[in-house]
Structure 1
């Protein structure tokens, strides 16, 4: 809720030795100040308890009337603006008080990004969205800010001025000129994903009646689908049967195999606790949770290899289902595991997720609908990508056709 306080700015004085009265407005942890256009001496301000006591001088009564009027105007402006925009800011309120209300569509794209990201941060704080997604939107805002600064020599850019030239010059800048950690240029797929962020932010603005159209809809580049890297049955068995002399490698091996047999991504594995392990009426175990990235409900049956891994750590004092190891360390140790198991593939946590989709489930006849549900996919087309790479499925289907023709 909005709060307003009035104070005396004693570092400024008029010719009569009086100081101006200011209003301090607070909203959602942020503050701004506003002059009310009235002056009073410090002595009278303190003597009247900031004009709260009974007043006798007409000048002081006028000051008090102005304070009450300003306080009502601030409250009325907040109520009116918040009816149309739940993410109203102090800038919006000051513009409203000064008669500078922004017309729909004239809002600056960076200001809109800030509104969206503040809203998205609230969803992250309540566990509705992942930290990685929030970081992606903040990175997209920074990239757009840099482009506007470098190519247009501005700190802001009105959405109504964004045209096709702006959009495709932005794409070129991101692909070939943008720098991050000494690396020049961003890959095609990453650029497409950043443009998806731009579209989402504008869609947010449309739903809140801040803008009337989405200029980024003209960008129609698609992701280049790359072949998913996954482990074959033989490679998976090699890791399972390998015993390492180092305890750290054995722990990382367990976490990696857990992902291979459940499809849980790094952030999801990290968040799993013993309360996520559920036994149903048939004494079968399930891992039940919501995917951090999408918020989609995901229930995965516990296969025997997973149960053996869980039982290994069940007596630990931690409420976590598995040991806590950073993604950076896991990926570092997986390189050692790949070398020791003679696997010529770059192992990452995501290779484990791809292995679940291909070798563990689709390759063993699990329906694509059930695989999609367990992986927390929002669209079945996301799962179909894995089905396309399985030659074994093609061979099995063709063997059935071969028998019919025989």
Structure 2
């Protein structure tokens, strides 16, 4: 019968932590597994082969030692389960036990599992989602100082520590929520695959949506941008015209603009499918849209309607992102020239169309359909951050009567 012993190896350097390892024995064959756990010699009880928590240790050290003992108990239990399963199959050996442990450890690593999720998203051509997952993983790895963690060790305390770390690094509430929701989705996926048990580690951290800063500008500002003389500044002019085209087309997102093809325009109707939701939208072709397309017809590549994806040999996703970066950079300069205080980006055109439509008493249901939202509730959330200026105007009217 195989057995597992927990061992401690003191450091040869005085005052330095020693190493904990597991000794697997089967039919006199002995193998060792490094646990990557370290304690001082006076924190180890040789008689019980367990961590000893000194009474003089401070609170943080006691907590740290408690976590190490928790790791040891979990690892021993895993090894015993592996031995039991291999014995039932009749293939138990010291090497098989060690191999089974290492394979399971790799599979149950949070970093590795999330990396596999990102890889799957890429294979499904969900590039944008894979990038958001990669961003969340990168942030979590910085918090962990690149030290991996097992799925079983994801708990409420760790999630709250990560939240506190994000706050000390000046992350906004929406950024915190963004990362937490992605990590939660990854963890839930691991639970579904049976790699860990559901402990709801994210129940006490912020996963809501904070009210964002108003990103819409007025129709007067839109006119000012349209009438701005940008003679001799072709890059600025392109940025301005792409911003206006988005506004003309009910706040079309930049990624949808980038992939528009001439075949999307038939019989005076521009039809396209949103990259984000897959929803089919139809827009009546107006003269202002036609003027923009004609202006840049010579600079368009192949069947594309707009001059955004111009290098067929280059990766389309990276080309789209670099073009968006440049356009947003020029839009900020255009905002400065027009005396617009709000940071101008392509996304502002979408917000602005929704805000102006609302100010003209267009029903939420119509705005929702026009923007390609999945539901009116999404549109209400979207418009919620745009009400501040209306409230401020109402307050000014009240104060004038004082």
Query: Normalising to structure 1: TM-score of the pair?
Result: 0.60
Change (3 A) 1:392 1:306: farther
Q: Which moved more, 1:206-215 or 1:256-265?
A: 206-215
Using the alignment, how far apart are the partners of 1:317 and 1:226 within structure 2?
36
Q: Does 1:195 align with 2:159?
A: no
Corresponding residue number in structure 2 for 1:264: 252
Using the alignment, how far apart are the partners of 1:311 and 1:135 within structure 2?
34
Using the alignment, how far apart are the partners of 2:300 and 2:342 within structure 1?
35
Change (3 A) 1:201 1:316: same
Partner SS state of residue 266, structure 2:
strand
Change (3 A) 1:252 1:190: same
Counterparts of 1:209-358 in structure 2, within 5 Å, are 209-213=194-198, 215-221=200-206, 222-245=208-231, 246-262=233-249, 263-279=251-267, 284-291=268-275, 293-314=276-297, 316-318=299-301, 319-324=303-308, 326-358=323-355
Corresponding residue number in structure 2 for 1:362: 358
Using the alignment, how far apart are the partners of 2:364 and 2:122 within structure 1?
34
Conserved in 2, the CA contact under 8 Å of 1:228 and 1:386? Answer: no
Change (3 A) 1:379 1:236: same
Q: Which moved more, 1:256-265 or 1:316-325?
A: 316-325
Partner SS state of residue 241, structure 2:
helix
Change (3 A) 1:203 1:305: farther
Q: Which moved more, 1:220-229 or 1:369-378?
A: 369-378
Using the alignment, how far apart are the partners of 1:95 and 1:193 within structure 2?
41
Using the alignment, how far apart are the partners of 1:314 and 1:243 within structure 2?
21
Conserved in 1, the CA contact under 8 Å of 2:121 and 2:127? Answer: no
Q: Deviations over 1:66-86 (max 9, x none)?
A: xxxxxxxxxxxxxxxxxxxxx
Q: Which moved more, 1:382-391 or 1:262-271?
A: 382-391
Corresponding residue number in structure 1 for 2:77: none
Conserved in 2, the CA contact under 8 Å of 1:159 and 1:215? Answer: no
Change (3 A) 1:239 1:142: closer
Corresponding residue number in structure 1 for 2:163: 171
Q: CA deviation at 1:243?
A: 3.1
1:205 to 185, 190, 193: 190
Corresponding residue number in structure 2 for 1:397: none
Corresponding residue number in structure 2 for 1:33: none
Using the alignment, how far apart are the partners of 1:297 and 1:322 within structure 2?
19
Conserved in 1, the CA contact under 8 Å of 2:159 and 2:202? Answer: no
Partner SS state of residue 144, structure 2:
helix
Which sections of structure 2, spanning at least 5 residues, go unmatched?
A: 1-94, 309-321, 392-402
RMSD (Å) for aligned C-alpha atoms: 3.3
Query: Normalising to structure 2: TM-score of the pair?
Result: 0.61
Q: CA deviation at 1:357?
A: 1.2
Using the alignment, how far apart are the partners of 2:342 and 2:100 within structure 1?
63
Using the alignment, how far apart are the partners of 2:118 and 2:375 within structure 1?
25
Partner SS state of residue 171, structure 2:
coil
Number of matched pairs: 279
Q: CA deviation at 1:115?
A: 1.9
Q: Deviations over 1:157-176 (max 9, x none)?
A: 22222221111011112221
Using the alignment, how far apart are the partners of 2:133 and 2:352 within structure 1?
29
Using the alignment, how far apart are the partners of 2:122 and 2:98 within structure 1?
28
Change (3 A) 1:295 1:195: farther
